[in-house]
Amino acid sequence: MLSNFKSFIIFKIKSMRKIIIFCLSFVFLTSCKSGNEKTDGDAVVSSDLRVIRGKIVDSKRKSLGYVAIKLYLDENDCMNAYSDNEGLFEFKLDELRVKDQSHFEIVYQGYATKLLSVRNFENDKSIILSKKGDVVSVTDYRVFYESIKSCSRK
C-alpha cells in the first residue's frame, strides 16, 4: 500500500511539473507578444497603428461640436468620427491602410464642406471651417451624419 502511495505521489509531482512548465511558458510567450504594444490610456495600441487627431474650429477659432468627419482611405474603405463638444476628433488606424488618395470630408451645417488630404494633415492642428462657398444645409448635414455610420470606427 505504501508503494502505491509513493508511486501516486511521484506521478502527481511529475504531472504538476508539466503543468507548471506549461504555465510559465505561456506567461513568457504572452509577455513577449505584448512587448510590441504601447498603452494609450486604457486601450492597447499596436506599434504600427497611426493616431490621427485634430480640432474643428470656425474662422474665429471657436470650437465646433458634432461635426461629421469621413475618412476615405480608398474607394472601398472608410472610417467615421464626430467631433466632441470641444471640436476634438480622433482616428486610430493601421498605417498600411492610408494611401496617397486618402482624405477627410468634413461636413457641418451652416459651413462649406471641407476636403483635406491625410498626407498633408498635421496631428493636433486645427481645421478651420468656412461659411463662404457652398454652405451645407441642415438636411444635407443630417443625411451625411447618418450615412457615415456605415463606415467603420476602427
Question: Structural domain of residue 7, as residue ranges?
Answer: 2-35
The single residue listed with the C-alpha cell 492610408 is 98
32-60: average pLDDT: 67
CATH number of residue 59's parent domain? 2.60.40.1120
pLDDT computed for residue 35 by the predictor: 44
Provide the 8-state DSSP code for 17. Answer: H
Task: Report which of 100, 109, 120, 115 is spatially closest to residue 52, judged by C-alpha positions.
Answer: 120
The count of structural domains within the chain is 2
> Is residue 67 situated within a structural domain?
yes
d(CA 114, CA 128): 9
pLDDT (tens digit per residue) in 117-144: 998 889 999 999 999 999 999 999 999 9
> Is residue 91 situated within a structural domain?
yes
> For residue 16, what are the CA distances in angstroms to 2, 30, 41, 106?
21, 21, 38, 60
Sign of the Cα pseudo-torsion (74, 75, 78, 84, in order):
positive
